[in-house]
Amino acid sequence: MPRLVISTVGTSLLTNQIDRDIDPDSWSKCLQQTANYTVDEIKKYHEDISHIIEKLKNRAEEKLYNDDTELEEIRELSAELNGIYGLYNNKLEQGTEDTHLLVATDTAQARVTANIVESFLKSNGLNNTSTCIQPGLSIASSATFIEGMAKLIPTLQEIIIASKSSKYQIYFNLVGGFKALQGYFNTIGMFYANEIVYVFEGSNEVIKIPQLPVKVDRSKVEPYKVQLAMMDVGEIPTSWEEAKKVPEEWVLVDGKEMTLSTWGKLIWNQCKDELLSEDLVKFPKLDYEQSFCKDYQNTLDIQERIQLQERLARAAYLLFKHGDGISALKDDDILRLRRYQNTNIDHINITAQTRRVSCKVADGGRLSLRYYGTHEYIYKREGIKK
């Protein structure tokens, strides 16, 4: 069975190239001080550091591609490669059918390291290797890191779910990377990974932690499903009293707005399909007519129910967040609130081509939902002539 191997990437491949006998003592300190600097920041303010990184990069590549370099030395050069070699029992050819995703911070040093590792793996037959970098992700501060991780998790979840549906097993290689990155991925791996790979400190012995039976207690999440579903779309005002009820560890507050934190996204992602496939969620600013409720109850496909309720959460979010929520619905590229010609009935898109909800704008910027279904079904129920 093929594997998706997600590896956290640090900078050990660069720092391991410093020769303390010939290199200036300042190199290690300079790299440490600029570890969270982006490529642009290095080029603009620290051109001298750019030269150091380039020299270390060349040394690393020279050793990796030198036929005289022993396998054990290659494993010592890079924590990321150490874990991958350990996963394949020193035989990378065993992984030619696997997919590798290297997760690095948005920093100059991590980008260089990830590029070297990616190129090396491809040169050894692991052609399905790519690098994932979330813009802004670094450990420059707790707030920066948490915000970056909150944005990264949905991307990772999509990749993991797609891979699982293609019968891939999921492996997390957490030998490399910054400690903060490893810590978060260790927790994420408990939910998604078939195995988490480490290397025993001081040796090349691989430690594999199997998937644990971790499950989020839905009873702790269900009371906040409205708020969580809306914050999954975007930032909502902190002035909303209902939002203040959500556990503070699940939200990220930025001034007068709040959205899901890393843990909030992780928890919601574990429960949302179950919660959104059951009863209709009572979102603010949306009124459900009996006909709409009946159409929902007659919708038996679980994924269709989930998508419908995700769109309802989006509609509620736009109506709630904007002063003129109706205009926001009209401008939204997904929902695209439009009026049927020669009627007083509007509709929003649920899927771009096949599913809609007919509705009417009500007092107070509310939306009254009438019918859900195909174009033909809504034309018939609403008595609309084409």
Q: Are residues 351 and 289 in the same domain?
A: yes
- Rounded to whole angstroms, the Cα distance separating 155 from 52 reads 33
- Rounded to whole angstroms, the Cα distance separating 161 from 231 reads 21
DSSP assignment letter at 281 = P
Q: Residue 48 has what pLDDT?
A: 86
For the chain, residues with pLDDT lower than 50 are: none
Q: Which residue shows structure tokens 């009627």?
A: 343
The last residue of a domain, from among 167, 186, 210:
210
Instruction: Write down the pTM of the prediction.
Output: 0.79
Q: Are residues 7 and 148 in the same domain?
A: yes
- Rounded to whole angstroms, the Cα distance separating 111 from 115 reads 6
The pair of structure tokens assigned to 132 is 């994932």
Host domain of residue 340: 277-386
Q: Are residues 284 and 367 in the same domain?
A: yes
**CA dihedral sign, ordered 85, 91, 95, 96:** positive
- Rounded to whole angstroms, the Cα distance separating 100 from 88 reads 13
Q: Are residues 180 and 238 in the same domain?
A: no
- Rounded to whole angstroms, the Cα distance separating 45 from 33 reads 13
Q: Are residues 292 and 372 in the same domain?
A: yes
Provide the number of structural domains found in the chain.
Answer: 3
Q: Residue 121 has what pLDDT?
A: 97
For 203, other C-beta atoms within 10 Å of its C-beta total 9
Question: Strands, DSSP E only, in the chain?
Answer: 3-8, 99-104, 129-133, 169-173, 195-199, 206-210, 236-237, 251-254, 257-260, 286-288, 338-339, 346-349, 356-362, 366-373
- Rounded to whole angstroms, the Cα distance separating 4 from 26 reads 39
Indicate the length of the chain as a whole number: 386
User: Which residues are 347's β-sheet partners?
Assistant: 338, 358
Q: List C-alpha distances in Å: 7 to 197, 267, 295.
A: 9, 22, 45
- Rounded to whole angstroms, the Cα distance separating 101 from 352 reads 31
Q: Are residues 318 and 238 in the same domain?
A: no
Q: Going by C-beta distance under 8 Å and a sequence separation of 6 or more, which residues neighbour residue 313?
A: 229, 230, 232, 233, 281, 283
Q: Are residues 233 and 346 in the same domain?
A: no
Q: Residue 381 has what pLDDT?
A: 94
**Do residues 357 and 347 lie in contact, with contact meaning Cβ atoms separated by under 8 Å?**
yes
Q: Residue 323 has what pLDDT?
A: 87
Q: Are residues 149 and 285 in the same domain?
A: no
**Do residues 378 and 384 lie in contact, with contact meaning Cβ atoms separated by under 8 Å?**
yes
User: Which residues are 356's β-sheet partners?
Assistant: 349, 373
Number of H helices, E strands in the chain: 16, 14
* Helix locations, 277-343, DSSP H: 290-297, 302-321, 325-331
For 260, other C-beta atoms within 10 Å of its C-beta total 26
Q: Are residues 150 and 283 in the same domain?
A: no
User: Which residues are 207's β-sheet partners?
Assistant: 198
Q: Are residues 293 and 193 in the same domain?
A: no
Chain-centroid distance, C-alpha 293: 33
The last residue of a domain, from among 275, 303, 325:
275
CATH number at residue 360: 3.30.2310.20
Q: List C-alpha distances in Å: 178 to 79, 140, 142.
A: 11, 12, 13
Write the single-letter amino acid at 181.
L
Chain-centroid distance, C-alpha 290: 37
CATH number at residue 164: 3.40.50.10770
Q: Residue 57 has what pLDDT?
A: 96
- Rounded to whole angstroms, the Cα distance separating 331 from 261 reads 27
Q: Are residues 230 and 306 in the same domain?
A: no
The last residue of a domain, from among 194, 210, 226:
210
Q: Are residues 174 and 204 in the same domain?
A: yes
